[in-house]
Chains A and B, each alone.
Chain A
């Protein structure tokens, strides 16, 4: 029994290390005076008030939502159809597709930015300075996550049999895909989209390099205010972290529901 203590001490130490920076940021965001003491002397919520009424911040939030929204819609539509076609009719291409979507894992943000700037700052298509270059970059960034989610989903819903059934009943391929396959994948797609969304709202490097100068996203805004006002910056960090926490919680709930329907299906079959 004595060994249990060792484990508790290890876990407490590690999770304290993980917890401290977060806790300090939170305390700093609500602190009014905090010098040379373990806890702040007095508290105030004025940093949050200032933040939520700052038009520059609200604009940054709006921009981040706009960019990630367009990226995710684009990604869901094109990835779902492409993965589906490859899964159903071109199984030999599966390896190629897999290699293509895994490239972003080996290409860090700075490297991706170098190529994108090169291609789109001059030449036949000039996109630098517009949101489209960032949307394109983000599209590539979330590829691996979207692909994994959709691919696993197609396998679990047994898309081949569903499609056969739809066609036997007289649906065209596009109809079968849009009205039979897609509705069955909603939960899975939502899960991958949420994961991708939490990655996108935390993305700084591409945003900063590609359009940071003209177009402030949340992370670029945070970076700019970092040295200006510590309390404001910490309230941004906490807001961001809470958003991510809510998304994670939604994913957990969705995942459980998804798991349950899978269990039910297994029981039936």
Chain B
């Protein structure tokens, strides 16, 4: 490489490199280092990880986060698999309309979404009052500000995303495959079991792991809905780092590293599954 090119490359790469180091790499390494420090911020120790992994308060938060992510992702997945398949059976114009609408609603998450659900199903929500009028006290079986409500809201932001990711995968199943299969005597069930599903599996697994990571890291929706009252990992981290009462940044860092690791593992699984099923990739 000649001298001129090198100079140009350095000028072009420098601002990017500075920003990446300053706002991505440095904070991440500082956080990891911090997680190995005691509360005084000087001595090195594994104490924060031991606390994070043994204190029932935090393990419960992790378990809750994991459970809600798995629940919401499974339900969201099931809905999206059915809905996007049904979409492929519609006329092209309606299909593109539905995709546009999914795209639009995939932006609907966080604080605005929590608020919309409060209007619908909150303590004095439209449906809550309406059903009460009709003699059905919805709050007996459903509470927006706890587990069931969180699942309903999490499912909401999973569905459009899952549809957007899965819908293109159906186009991989060609119509003439079905025709050939049925000519050879396969039932619809056999076709899906032997041909449809194997073709779809990588997309399904990939989408699922994205949903999982998406739900696990979600903070704004839960925060707007339940504040600090429901024990979820992101909420715990937030409280430890910038809480109103006491802050324990080192413990918060350890929990944040654990959450980050969980997400990386979910994505790594996705990558592995993709490699395994899609031989064409490698």
Residues of A within 8 A of B (CB): 4, 6-8, 10-11, 14-15, 17-22, 24-25, 28, 34-38, 74, 77-79, 81-82, 84-86, 89-90, 100, 103-119, 136-137, 139-140, 143, 173-174, 177, 198, 202, 204-205, 209, 219, 222-223, 226, 230, 233-234, 236-237, 240-241, 244-245, 248, 252
Contacts and interface: CB of A to CB of B under 8 A. Distances in A.
Interface of B: 1, 4-5, 8-9, 11-13, 15-17, 19-20, 22-24, 26-28, 30-31, 34, 79, 82-83, 85-87, 89-90, 98, 100-105, 107-113, 115-120, 126, 129-130, 132-133, 156, 159-160, 213, 216-220, 223-224, 234, 237-238, 241-242, 249, 252-253, 256, 259-260, 263-264, 267
Contact of B241 (A7, A24, A117, A202): A117
B22 A136 contact: yes
Classify the secondary structure of A's interface with B: helix
B236 to A, nearest CB: 9
A12 to B, nearest CB: 10
Contacts of B213: 105-106
A84 B241 CA distance: 38
A226 B217 contact: no
B256 A234 contact: no
Given A7-B89, A108-B217, A81 B12 contact: yes
A118 to B, nearest CB: 5
Contact of A114 (B117, B223, B237): B237
B112 A114 contact: no
Contacts, number: 224
Classify the secondary structure of B's interface with A: helix
Contact of A35 (B1, B129, B234): B129
A108 B115 contact: no
A202 B116 CA distance: 15
A140 B23 contact: yes
B73 to A, nearest CB: 15
A250 B115 CA distance: 27
Contacts of A110: 217, 219, 234, 237-238, 241, 256, 259
Contact of A137 (B23, B87, B119): B23
A209 B117 contact: no
5 contacts: A4-B89, A7-B89, A14-B159, A140-B23, A237-B115
